[in-house]
Structure 1
């Protein structure tokens, strides 16, 4: 099997054609990959900021066709067109049973180890194990748990919806956890794939002013096209002053999708007294971000950490939003690349010159 393998952090991926993939075990599904979105979380793996041990195959926004199913699989069958979430719920732990499968306890124990829930891998190269990051979609085939998969209706193009697996599901979870009330003012920090998904979903949810903050003019323009009422270029003006002037004191809700110290602190400074801050951007695994606790306490600010959405519940809803035209994931796609061109796509994302690139297996 052909796959783009990271052998060492901060080195280019190597596309090799002799990776061995084992059959799916109980509860697992083998997918023939059609396309996989390239996300900044993948780049964090390549740079060692998310330290999944190499050799590793990344790629977690997977769309493809079911090739084979393991014992006991009932949610999909061979031939089904599917999209995979970056969260792979076990369906049995306490959180899964209580409706919080995005916080699956079993999955949380292995997601940075690059293994399946049983602690083993399904890929190998020259007799040595190869790990995967949240699916391993930068390859011709991938094996994931059935609970991560949702069947895609035949009238929806797989390339159109691959980014639902992370950008869409994370954006949906962020807006859902914020409990947006009609007319509330919301600031969105970061206008990448997640941020632009959030903007679209805020518009669909009935939010009032939607203020997008970022550093790239073309991305801010895209945010306006997708539903933002105001934009703030954080490199050209004081973002806190600008937002407080627009909102007369601060946003009711701030959704942070940048995932670094500067954007997290900015989010806390943008919110009004008594407001809510939702953190969805993922900084490096060992990042320590200082927070002024006294101001949070005095101002009664609620901080909500949100890790994506619930694959079996929210992904079908996302697909319906796509069908109804309320969420357009194609607006996030800035390029398509063959697997052999993946390093070019990675470079553009690192430079901030891409939102989402699709790696197509053709």
Structure 2
């Protein structure tokens, strides 16, 4: 099969012929129809998320099941599926206690680029292993754990355009759930990429009051208004914390931070009202240490919630229902489609802030 392989950080991806093994127990092979390009993938390419190379990234995967391993029960050959970036084992303490998004087995191999047994399924003809990051969807085929998958029953739905549910959608859904947004709450969203714009759509769906988007790109902020924001703040053109507090008479009830930088995280912590909540979903580089004013957090009684995606087997069907009832439209996030051999162009556009979500179409 063809795959986009990263050999060295900060270098272009090369599209080359590799071999994929049969799926093992509880594993599923997917013929990839589309994979979304996410900033988490770019972090791998830059080495900010240091998955060992050579590695195939790509974790917003939509496709068709072509083979199933031993003991697979959730999907069958021929099923159209969406794969999330979270692959719960279903057996660890967190999985069986209702926190499968924090699966301990998955966490132990996530940055190693291997399957649960510590081995890989993609290799060169000479036997050298190739790692895969959260699914390795920038390829013609991918192997994932069955618990990451959700079947798409509606044959009228374009499966390609639902690929972004696997990260943008499920991350936003988890953020809304963790924040416990109530009708009428004022909510600010820091960062208006694929995740932030998904959050905004879902805030509108749950009846949030004032929804304020914060970002640096005018066209993305205008897109935020189109998708449900009531106001926006261009953080390059104003003092964002001051402006936010003035707009909301002391700060919004909740701030959802989707930027993942020191600047945006500090902005969220300083901008929320006294007694408010900050939900952190943006991922800085793994080595980043971000200073915060703890005294301010304590005195203001701020609740900080770290949220990592959501529960694939429980929440993805609910997310699909939001799409079916037109309360969340993932197609509005897609700004381009690229062939596998054009993957480096998609990376460049995302790095330059000229894309929200590009789809890589391998076939």
Structure 2 match to 1:301: 302
| Structure-to-structure mapping, 1:4-43, within 5 angstroms | 4-17=4-17, 19-43=18-42
Q: 1: distance between equivalents of 2:353 and 2:146?
A: 34
Q: 2: distance between equivalents of 1:93 and 1:225?
A: 42
Residues 1:286 and 2:295 aligned together: no
TM-score (norm 1): 0.99
TM-score (norm 2): 0.99
**Alignment RMSD (CA, Å):** 0.5
Structure 2 match to 1:239: 240
Q: Deviations over 1:68-105 (max 9, x none)?
A: 00000000000000000000000001111011100001
Structure 1 match to 2:133: 133
| Structure-to-structure mapping, 1:42-61, within 5 angstroms | 42-61=41-60
Structure 1 residue 61 displacement after superposition: 0.3
Structure 2 match to 1:177: 178
Q: 2: distance between equivalents of 1:242 and 1:313?
A: 38
SS of structure 2 residue aligned to 1:7: coil
Runs of 4+ residues deviating >3 angstroms: none
Aligned pair count reads: 361
Structure 1 match to 2:65: 66
Question: Which has the higher mean CA deviation after the structures are superposed, 284-293 or 155-164?
Answer: 155-164
Q: 2: distance between equivalents of 1:227 and 1:78?
A: 38
Structure 2 match to 1:341: 342
Q: 2: distance between equivalents of 1:141 and 1:180?
A: 38
Q: 2: distance between equivalents of 1:233 and 1:27?
A: 46
Structure 1 match to 2:86: 87
Structure 2 unmatched runs, 5+: none
Structure 2 match to 1:3: 3
Q: 2: distance between equivalents of 1:325 and 1:246?
A: 30
Q: 1: distance between equivalents of 2:91 and 2:202?
A: 30
Structure 2 match to 1:253: 254
Q: 2: distance between equivalents of 1:275 and 1:245?
A: 16
Q: 2: distance between equivalents of 1:325 and 1:288?
A: 39
Structure 1 residue 198 displacement after superposition: 0.2
Structure 1 residue 46 displacement after superposition: 0.3
Structure 1 residue 127 displacement after superposition: 1.4
Q: Deviations over 1:139-180 (max 9, x none)?
A: 000000000000012221111210000000000000110001
SS of structure 2 residue aligned to 1:199: helix
Q: Deviations over 1:107-140 (max 9, x none)?
A: 0000000000110000111310000000000000
Q: 2: distance between equivalents of 1:269 and 1:3?
A: 43
Structure 2 match to 1:105: 104
Structure 1 match to 2:167: 166
Q: Deviations over 1:197-252 (max 9, x none)?
A: 00000000110000000000000000000000000000001111111111000010
Structure 1 residue 181 displacement after superposition: 1.1
Q: Deviations over 1:240-270 (max 9, x none)?
A: 1111111000010000000010000000011
